[in-house]
Amino acid sequence: MASTTSDPDGSPTNEAFHLLSNETRLELMQALWAAYDPVDEEPMRFAELREEVTADDPGGIYYHLDKLTTHFVRRTEEGYELRESGKRIARIVLSGTAIDDPEIEPVAVDVDCWYCGGQPTLSYRDGWRYLECTSCEARCVDSFPPGVISKNEFPPSGIRDRTPNEINEADRIWGAHRRASVMDGVCPECAGNMPIDSIEVCDDHRPDWDAYQFCEACGSIFWMLVSHVCEGCKYRWRLPTLFYPTRHPAAVAFYYDHGTGSSSTSPPTSSGRSSSTSARSSSRPTRCGSGSRSRGTARSCG
């Protein structure tokens, strides 16, 4: 497998961090990002860039610009512009998505709890969007506090200029696309290979569907969980098999081998309730499974 990050010295990763560790270079990157118009790309001339940085020694500014052209910046006849790698860095670092840490206090949103039909609230903290039911203590996994019916990794940029209902809807759409990418084996973070890493099956699965509580034996309300890990960036995502109706050959084969037709699963919905009492053949509406970072501390249901 090709790797661009394992070389301890002079690796592209180290070089990238080194490039951004200088104030003038950061200011230059910021100036190029501020001037960048995605519809009408126009390079910045040296004279324009010079006005945007604190340093005033042209030789020094030129030196730092030249350094940046090794990775993030391109020099053209008309001036300087960000390369795609520079834009990616700018989107993550300079736009604040990576370090912003906003919070939203619990506020009611227009969805019904898919366990009890009650009123959930939306909140946001530490980069996670929570839906918490005010009427029940549902726990689909043991890592969730009681009542948290859904928890999803969602970037701070996604909450800007949106009402709580709009955030909830954006999160649903964004999550669905990313989940589809994971199920098809393509990492939604880096586009690397993201094969199935493991399939966990509970041998003694007894969740309490009436109280909406996870099974003590496996810590999940779901009988079977599929784990994908990205070979490139270590991004990990675990999701219940009900998201795989005939989607992935490996999952289909697994169902077949275990005598469970994949038609017994159904796409998740966010409302209504079925009378099924077995997770193994459940068509109980559930929204579960979303991204968790590679440390595996969080599994999410939403």
Q: Are 157 and 180 in contact (CB under 8 A)?
A: no
Establish if 122 lies at the interface with Zn ion (CB under 5 A).
no
- Rule CB under 5 A: choose which of 79, 96, 118, 158 binds Zn ion: 118
Q: Which residues between 162 and 201 bind Zn ion (CB under 5 A)? A: 187, 189-190, 192
User: Which of the stretches 28-36, 232-240, 253-261, 287-295 binds Zn ion when contact is defined by CB under 5 A?
Assistant: 232-240
- Helix or strand (DSSP H, E) at 291: strand 291-292
3-state SS class at 12: helix
Least distance between Zn ion and beta carbon 276 (Å): 16
Beta carbon nearer to Zn ion, 189 or 197? 189
Beta carbon nearer to Zn ion, 176 or 233? 233
Q: Say how far apart CA 206 and CA 216 lie, in whole Å.
A: 7
Establish if 67 lies at the interface with Zn ion (CB under 5 A).
no
Beta carbon nearer to Zn ion, 20 or 190? 190
Q: Please choose, from the candidates 171, 26, 163, 169, the residue with its C-alpha nearest in 3D space to the C-alpha of residue 89.
A: 26
Q: Say how far apart CA 54 and CA 28 lie, in whole Å.
A: 10
- Rule CB under 5 A: choose which of 82, 89, 202, 251 binds Zn ion: 202
Phi first, then psi, for residue 186 (nearest 5°) are: -120, 125
Residue 195's identity, in one-letter code, is: P
- Rule CB under 5 A: choose which of 111, 218, 221, 229 binds Zn ion: 218
What binding mask, one character per residue, do residues 88-117 give for Zn ion by CB under 5 A, x or -? -------------------------x-xx-
Least distance between Zn ion and beta carbon 16 (Å): 17
Beta carbon nearer to Zn ion, 115 or 255? 115
3-state SS class at 182: helix
In the block, residue with structure tokens 């991204």: 291
Query: Residues with Cβ < 8 Å from 126, sequence gap 6 or more?
Result: 101
Least distance between Zn ion and beta carbon 23 (Å): 31
Beta carbon nearer to Zn ion, 30 or 121? 121
Residue 5 CB neighbour total at 10 angstroms: 12
Tokens representing residue 137 in the block: 């203590």
Least distance between Zn ion and beta carbon 232 (Å): 4
Beta carbon nearer to Zn ion, 107 or 217? 217
User: Which of the stretches 34-42, 53-61, 127-135, 263-271 binds Zn ion when contact is defined by CB under 5 A?
Assistant: 127-135
Q: Are 46 and 65 in contact (CB under 8 A)?
A: yes
- Rule CB under 5 A: choose which of 133, 140, 224, 288 binds Zn ion: 133
- Rule CB under 5 A: choose which of 20, 26, 201, 233 binds Zn ion: 233
Question: Edge-to-edge strand order for the sheet containing 236-240?
Answer: 196-201, 224-229, 236-240, 291-292
Least distance between Zn ion and beta carbon 204 (Å): 6
Residue 68 CB neighbour total at 10 angstroms: 24
Least distance between Zn ion and beta carbon 25 (Å): 27
Q: Are 118 and 112 in contact (CB under 8 A)?
A: yes
Least distance between Zn ion and beta carbon 12 (Å): 16
Q: Are 172 and 122 in contact (CB under 8 A)?
A: no
Q: Which residues bind Zn ion (CB under 5 A)?
A: 113, 115-116, 118, 133, 135-136, 187, 189-190, 192, 202, 205, 215, 217-218, 230, 232-233, 235
